[in-house]
Chains A and B, each alone.
Chain A
Amino acid sequence: MPKADARSASLASDPVTRFFAVLAQPGHLETFEGESATLRFEVLDGERVDRWYLTVANGDVTVARRNGPADVVVRIKRPDMEAMLTGRLNAQAALLRGLLGFDGDVAALMMFQRCLPGPPGSTGKVAPITSKTVMAERRAS
């Protein structure tokens, strides 16, 4: 089917495909240790729905492009999904804001969000502040 091939080729470089490819590559994620769940992602792209089916079995991860019953089904628009998978949108915030909808087990969704990256630009570093600066700031406020 030349049409489908063309589509998968064009998708190969998109962030969603890349994310799941990387996730499936090690085949085992430490952060999912002891966890088992199935998740189906329905990524809405205009009229089109792209599906990813994620299986976690005691930390082992497999990803497939298919439909099927899952513990939780997640519905999200493609730009929001891309933002979430690249750390620009927090999953919990997306849920509260109504950008991300789900049916099924919220615990499975909670588990999934652990593998998402932090915001770009977060370094974990901060410059120390001296006692003098703290005292000066207090006097100013």
Chain B
Amino acid sequence: MSSELVQILEGNTFVVSDDRGDIEASLTDPTGLFSFDTRFLSQWVLTLDGQRLNALSTDDLHYFQTRFFLVPGTGTVYVDAKLSVIRQREVADGFHEELRILNHESKPVSLKVRIDAASDFADLFEVKDALKKKGRYETKIAGNSLVLRYMRETYCRETWISSSSPARMDQNGLSFAITIPAHGEWKTELDVVASIGSEDQPAQGVTRIRGERRVRRDMTRGLEKWIQAAPRLESDWEPLELIYRRCLTDLAALRFSPLTMPGHALPAAGLPWFMTIFGRDSIFTSLQALPFSSELAATTLLALAERQGTRIDDFRDEDPGRILHEMRYGEMTAFEERPHSPYYGNADATPLFVVLLDEYERWTGDIKLVERLEHAARAALNWIDEYADLQRNGYVSYQRRNAKTGLENQCWKDSWDSISYRNGDLPGFPRATCELQGYAYDAKMRGARLARLIWKDPAFADRLEKEAADLKRRFNRDYWVEDGQYFAVALDTDGRQVDSLTSNIGHLLWSGIVDKPKARAIARHLLGPRLFSGWGVRTLAEGEARYNPIGYHVGTVWPFDNSIIAWGLRRYGFKEEAAHIAAGILQAAEIFGGRLPEAFGGYPRSLTKYPVQYPTACSPQAWSTGAPLLLLRTALGLEPTGENLIIDPALPTWIGHLELLDLPGRWKRIDAYGRGRVDTDRLLAR
């Protein structure tokens, strides 16, 4: 099988195939047509007279469209083709494939064209964990369609396959017996539709096929409109324009419409495996993108509010007021073998929900949405004190109640070894990581602003501010590691400091919970040799027992993390330090062709010369895509204040001139200009 994988997608429907356009999946192999977390095609193999094809080239026309140029034969040294095959595929509710065969000879040719089709209807979780199916399969021919069906009790999923040219359908696929005239062409259009089937409505798949063409036209228009609506960027440093363009296109691909809000999009977490609502990722990406598009934030807020927790459910780690962690639609979720219906196990999305709501209002002035979400925001604020203070010590902490399939670490660093003492020991549970206290503080302060300004409840605002001040006072006392001059990453169950030095301290600046006199020491650490690699801030400092430059949360550099840190540095007036973070990450982005990975190695820059990509399954990742956008904001010092946008640039010298034109917001449209004056060469040479 050809090794290179090709992905196209729309919403949560995506196709992963080899470079011939063929799909030959096994239970553990991640190729196929996927929709709503279910694989609807695990086999889709094209042959001519029983012979496989050979890829000449693949064109990614759009994120939802690919064209494969193929010839018969199996890839010997050279190709002497008398036929060529063009497969153009577009994703919608399944996919649409235009298959063209060109005869280059001066005599007619007769061929048997065959497509083998099958589906295992695997849940994404099953693909990941290689689990066996529990239901039964059926294949039938209904009118002009081949229908693949999977059933388990009342659960039913179907794949409808049809062709515009007459095909002979059988249990294993479609065949065409064709003759192509001399120098002629044969063409057919194939539709594959993923359907939530049921015995009562066998026609559902067919109805959806008819809607296909209109959907596709809208998709191309939608992408153009999206790019055009975004602010224009001009810079003396040319790669920046490429990075910016890449971010906008990737963000467009990551847009996901919740079922309850057709026509509105929020950022899903990553492509293709995380094309779903994630509380934390959707919120952070919306925050990063706010200066460029506020629609993502609005949809995220509404969709998360709609699914906000309302009850105690230990299986889903749900509490009243809690914002969800992850939503899934596959078979294992349906049968409650996984808790993602939705799963609520995170401790940060709830305060961050309030943070996003306030930041959204600052940019847009959309008071209506803040009024509409008053109840949800109050419930979120209530969750912080009533349900998240697990140890009744005034700090937000987390511990999963679903010990079997729940998440152990419910902060953004969610791998098992991410939170450790200096000596490498892991703390017990509950854990009160430091950034959660920062988010809670910020949520209370921002909630107070909204309460006073929009909900007209000054008493509630006073109470929130008083609680925030108290939290800040206690936090600066209890988390401060005196002998290191930074904040501990967490407090353990005994209230003891989990004392390693981590990037989390940068998030604390962003939240504003750091006492002013302590901020200088924090900034020094963030740009110091133990944390700053020359490309960015490491998740865990060099010198800690668990430090590993290619450990997921224990030494790699995360672009998303760094963008929040840069924002934090700006908040405390460290403009030049923020410019350094922007410089390192944007230079890395240039090397990665404009698309930043989720994380890259924390090796010193002088050692590897190039950033070493951490291998992850998803690319692009939403919050990595959002990182350059937020860094543009921090570099230009964009800060909405009242009805105005403050612009206070601090750019690396080598960026030269930078313009962002037509920034949308409550001021309608504004242009921002800056010129590079910060010399970043010395620190980046590290």
Q: Please state if B399 and A34 are interface contacts (CB–CB under 8 Å).
A: no
The answer to whether the Cβ of B315 comes within 8 Å of any Cβ in the partner chain is: yes
**Quick one: which of A94-141 are within 8 Å of B by CB?**
96-99, 101, 106-107, 110-111, 114-119, 121-126, 128-135, 138
Q: Which residue of A lies closest to B198 (CB)?
A: A98
- Could you tell me if A31 and B155 are in contact, using CB atoms closer than 8 angstroms? no
Q: In the assembled complex, how far is the CB of residue A120 from the closest CB belonging to chain B, in whole angstroms?
A: 11
A47 is an interface residue with CB less than 8 A from chain B: no
Residues of chain B within 8 A of A96, CB atoms compared: 155, 329-331, 333-334, 341
Stretch with Cβ within 8 A of A (4 or more), from B19-27, B353-361, B421-429, B653-661:
B421-429
**B259 with A128: CB separation less than 8 A:** no
Nearest A-chain residue to B38, judged by Cβ: A96
Contacts of A106 in B (CB 8 A): 259-260
Which residues of chain A have C-beta atoms less than 8 A from B310's C-beta?
31, 114-116
Docked-complex contact B401 and A126, CB < 8 angstroms: yes
Say whether, besides A110-B306, A126-B400, A128-B493, A135 and B425 are in contact (CB < 8 Å).
yes
User: Would you call B336 and A93 a contact (CB within 8 A)?
Assistant: yes
Question: Is A92 in the interface zone, CB < 8 Å from B?
Answer: yes
Smallest beta-carbon distance A58→chain B, Å: 11
Instruction: Confirm or deny: B49 has a beta carbon within 8 angstroms of a beta carbon on chain A.
Output: no
Chain A neighbourhood of B342, CB < 8 A:
92
Flag whether A5 is at the interface (Cβ < 8 A).
Answer: no
Interface residues of A in 67-90 (CB under 8 A from B): 87, 90
Q: Does A33 contact B (CB under 8 A)?
A: yes
Report A-chain residues with C-beta under 8 Å of the C-beta of B312: 118, 122-124
B154 near A99 with CB under 8 A, answer yes
One digit per residue, 1 when the CB lies within 8 angstroms of any chain A CB and 0 when it does not, for chain B 255-275 equals: 000011100000000000000
Complex: A111 Cα to B125 Cα, angstroms: 28
Contact across chains for B315 and A110 when beta carbons are under 8 A apart: no
Q: Are A93 and B335 in contact (CB under 8 A)?
A: yes
Q: A90-B341, A92-B342 are in contact. Are A118 and B318 (CB under 8 A)?
A: yes
B52 on interface, CB distance cutoff 8 Å: no
Q: Does B153 interact with chain A (Cβ within 8 Å)?
A: yes
A71 CB to closest chain B CB (Å) equals 12
Whether A98 pairs with B336 at a CB distance below 8 angstroms is: no
List of B residues within 8 angstroms of A115 by Cβ:
310
Closest-by-CB residue of B relative to A131 is: B428
Residues facing A in B388-431 (CB within 8 A) are: 399-401, 416, 425-430
Name the interface residues of B146-160: CB closer than 8 Å to any CB of A: 153-156
Chain B nearest CB from A59 CB (Å) reads 9
Distance, CA A91 to CA B169, complexed state (A)? 38
What class of interface size applies to chain B in its complex with A?
35 or more
Interchain CB contact under 8 A, A131 and B426: yes
Instruction: Let me know if B429 and A128 touch, CB within 8 A.
Output: yes
Q: Are A124 and B341 in contact (CB under 8 A)?
A: no
What residues of A have a CB within 8 angstroms of the CB of B319 in the complex? 124
Contacting pair B314 A122 (CB below 8 A) = yes
Which residues of B, 125-183, contact A by the 8 Å Cβ criterion? 153-156
A98 CA to B329 CA, complexed, in Å: 12
Q: Within the complex, what minimum Cβ distance (angstroms) separates B205 from chain A? A: 15
What 0/1 pattern do residues 333 to 354 of B give for CB contact below 8 A with A?
1111000011000000000000
Tell me whether B467 is interfacial, beta carbon within 8 Å: no
Question: B313 on the interface (CB 8 Å rule)?
Answer: yes
- A98/B428 in contact, CB under 8 A: no
B492 proximity list for chain A (CB < 8 A) = 131
Query: Is B306's CB under 8 angstroms from A138's CB?
Result: no
Residues of chain B with a CB closer than 8 A to A124's CB: 312, 314, 319, 387, 401
Nearest residue (CB) in A for B335 is A97
* Interface flag for B311 (CB, 8 Å): yes
Q: Are the C-beta atoms of B401 and A33 separated by less than 8 Å?
A: no
* Complex interface: chain B residues within 8 A of A121 (CB): 314
Contacts of A123 in B (CB 8 A): 312, 314
Q: Is the CB of A129 within 8 A of B155?
A: no
A129 CA / B397 CA spacing, docked (Å): 13
Residues of B within 8 A of A34 (CB): 372, 374-375
The one of B315, B335, B341, B427 that contacts A131, using a Cβ cutoff of 8 Å = B427
**Nearest CB to that of B427 among chain A residues?**
A131
B307 at the binding interface (Cβ < 8 Å): yes
Chain A residues with CB below 8 A from B400, complex form: 126
Q: With A and B bound together, what is the CA distance between A111 and B306 in angstroms? A: 7
Which residue of A93, A114, A119, A130 contacts B493 across the interface (Cβ within 8 Å)?
A: A130
Do B260 and A119 touch (CB < 8 A)? no
Are A119 and B314 interface neighbours, CB within 8 A?
yes
| Contact between B430 and A98, CB atoms less than 8 A apart | no
List residues of chain A with CB within 8 A of the CB of B156.
98
Query: Complex: how many Å from CA A121 to CA B312?
Result: 10
Chain B residues 295-321 with CB under 8 Å of chain A are 306-308, 310-316, 318-319
A133 contacts across to B, CB distance below 8 A? 428
Asked if A122 and B493 sit within 8 Å, CB to CB, the answer is no
Known contacts A123-B314, A130-B493, A134-B428; is-contact A93 B198 (Cβ 8 Å): no
Nearest CB in chain A: distance from B411 CB, A: 16
The interface centre, meaning the residue of A93, A96, A126 with most chain B CB atoms within 10 A of its CB, is A96
Bound-state Cα–Cα, A84 to B392, Å: 33
Contact with A along B187-202 (1 / 0, CB 8 A): 0000000001010000
A29 smallest CB distance to B (angstroms): 10
Q: Which residues of the partner chain A approach B401 to less than 8 Å between Cβ atoms?
A: 122, 124-126
Q: Which residue on A lies nearest to B155, using beta carbons?
A: A97
B263 to chain A, nearest CB (A): 13
| Inter-chain contact A138/B416, CB cutoff 8 Å | yes
Residues of B within 8 A of A107 (CB): 260-261, 306
Q: Which residue of A lies closest to B197 (CB)?
A: A98
Contacting residues, chain B, for A114 (C-beta < 8 A) = 308, 310
How far, in angstroms, from A138 to B546 measured CA to CA in the complex? 14
A119 vs B400: C-alpha distance in the bound complex, in angstroms? 16
Q: List chain B residues, Cβ under 8 A from A128.
A: 399, 428-430, 493
Docked Cα-Cα span, A131 to B329, in Å, equals 35
Query: Are B426 and A93 in contact (CB-based, < 8 A)?
Result: no
Contact of A93 among B196, B311, B341 (CB under 8 A): B341
Query: What chain A residues lie within 8 Å of B198 (beta carbons)?
Result: 98, 101
**A–B Cβ pairs within 8 angstroms, 5 of them:** A31-B310, A93-B334, A114-B308, A129-B429, A134-B426
A-B pairs, 10 with minimum CB distance: A96-B334, A118-B311, A98-B154, A118-B313, A92-B341, A122-B314, A107-B260, A124-B312, A33-B375, A97-B334
Q: A90-B341, A92-B342 provided; 10 other pairs, C-beta below 8 A?
A: A31-B310, A98-B154, A107-B261, A110-B307, A124-B314, A128-B399, A129-B428, A129-B493, A131-B425, A138-B426
